[in-house]
């Protein structure tokens, strides 16, 4: 309470309310003053009502009866207000405890779902990393496969070139033999010695050609072996590629299952949040109904106070009648004395 609020301030505010036809209450006095704690204003207002009969110059019996009537009405209203306040506080405490329990449960569930979502996200990241590694390995294998195919193509080209070279050498040898035979037939008697020498030379050439053919055959065999080895390596690489593709398919299916689990968990979390929101709305509606009931009781209390003010007015009317009766009685006493004389 502001230190400046005194009994005189409360008295002035209460008199102003009475002049307006309103019953002086704690809230009314605080509204007029614009300050003051309810406890201090209530204490000053109690002193104001106790001093009110003396200020109005009421006779002692009427003042006592009015004070007792006001006190009984005020006590009954205070008991009712205290009961309403107690019930309201009990309801608010229960609502607060229920909301706190719901909040704790909600926070626990939220933490659990967040932990689950984090774990799923970690698994998904690991799966994606494995998928990326598998894709990189598959790309490397595809590069190796392309290189192997290029090597096989180059080997086949070299084998084809060697075969063509052998065929050209054989054709050349055949042409030379035919030329020698034609020359020998045309100059048989003149060139018998040269024929023998040429035959020897031809034998040397044939031996050399056979050596060259054997070397070419060996090169072709080596190329065939290299091609076979490359084909074997290519088959192994194809098996590895098929295995990696199968592992990639399994990882993709596992990722789909993980994403479906995450989506299901997210949907369940949303439904639980909606259920908690509906429960919170129900609690808020119950609280609003209790507040409306408290407001109604306060209105009934104000009605009782107005009735008390009406009774106080009736008491004032009775006091006025008593005053008139007293004055009339005083006027009759001299008349009776004159009659006796």
The CA-based diameter of the chain, rounded to the nearest angstrom, is 221
What does pTM read for this prediction? 0.26
Has domain 58-299 been given CATH number 1.10.287?
yes
Backbone angles phi, psi at 34, to 5 degrees: 80, 10
Tell which residue, 271, 86, 108, 294, has the closest CA to residue 100. Answer: 108
Q: Which residues contact 18 (CB under 8 A, 6 or more apart)?
A: 24
Q: What is the pLDDT of residues 149-168, one digit of tens each?
A: 787 688 678 868 878 888 88
The pLDDT tens digits of the residues spanning 261-306 come to 767 866 886 798 788 689 888 868 888 887 888 788 778 878 867 8
Nearest Cα to Cα of residue 126 among 255, 264, 243, 263:
255
Average pLDDT score over residue span 316-327: 81
pLDDT for the residue numbered 1: 38
pLDDT at 71: 67
pLDDT value for 12: 94
Which pLDDT score, from 0 to 100, does residue 66 have? 58
For residues 138 and 234, the answer to whether their CB atoms sit within 8 Å is no
Give the long-range contacts of residues 70-77, CB within 8 A, separation 24 or more: 70/308, 70/312, 73/304, 73/305, 73/307, 73/308, 74/49, 74/308, 76/304, 77/301, 77/304, 77/305
């Amino acid at each position: 309470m502001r230190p400046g609020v005194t009994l005189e301030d409360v008295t002035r505010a209460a008199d102003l309310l009475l002049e307006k036809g309103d019953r002086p209450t704690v809230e009314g006095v605080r509204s007029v003053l614009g300050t003051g704690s309810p406890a201090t204003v209530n204490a000053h207002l109690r002193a104001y009502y106790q001093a009110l009969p003396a200020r109005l110059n009421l006779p002692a019996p009427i003042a006592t009866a009015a004070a007792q009537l006001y006190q009984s009405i005020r006590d009954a209203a205070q008991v009712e207000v205290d009961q309403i306040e107690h019930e309201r506080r009990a309801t608010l405490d229960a609502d607060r405890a229920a909301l706190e329990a719901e909040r704790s449960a909600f926070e626990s569930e939220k933490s659990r779902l967040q932990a689950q979502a984090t774990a799923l996200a970690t698994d998904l990241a690991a799966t994606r990393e494995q998928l990326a590694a598998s894709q990189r390995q598959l790309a490397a294998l595809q590069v190796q496969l392309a290189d192997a195919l290029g090597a096989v193509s180059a080997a086949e080209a070299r084998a084809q070139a060697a075969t063509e070279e052998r065929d050209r050498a054989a054709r050349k040898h055949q042409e030379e033999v035919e030329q020698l035979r034609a020359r020998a037939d045309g100059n048989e008697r003149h060139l018998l010695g040269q024929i023998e020498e040429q035959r020897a030379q031809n034998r040397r050439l044939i031996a050399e050609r056979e050596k060259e053919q054997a070397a070419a055959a060996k090169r072709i065999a080596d190329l065939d072996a290299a091609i076979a080895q490359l084909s074997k390596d290519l088959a192994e690489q194809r098996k590895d590629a098929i295995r990696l593709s199968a592992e990639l398919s399994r990882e993709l299916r596992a990722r789909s299952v993980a994403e479906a689990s995450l989506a299901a968990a997210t949907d369940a979390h949303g439904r639980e949040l909606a259920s908690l929101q509906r429960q919170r709305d129900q609690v808020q509606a119950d609280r609003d109904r209790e507040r409306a009931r408290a407001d109604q009781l306060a209105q009934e209390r104000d009605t009782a106070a107005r009735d008390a003010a009406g009774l106080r007015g009736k008491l004032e009317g009775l006091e006025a009648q008593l005053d008139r009766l007293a004055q009339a009685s005083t006027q009759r006493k001299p008349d009776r004395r004159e009659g006796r004389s």
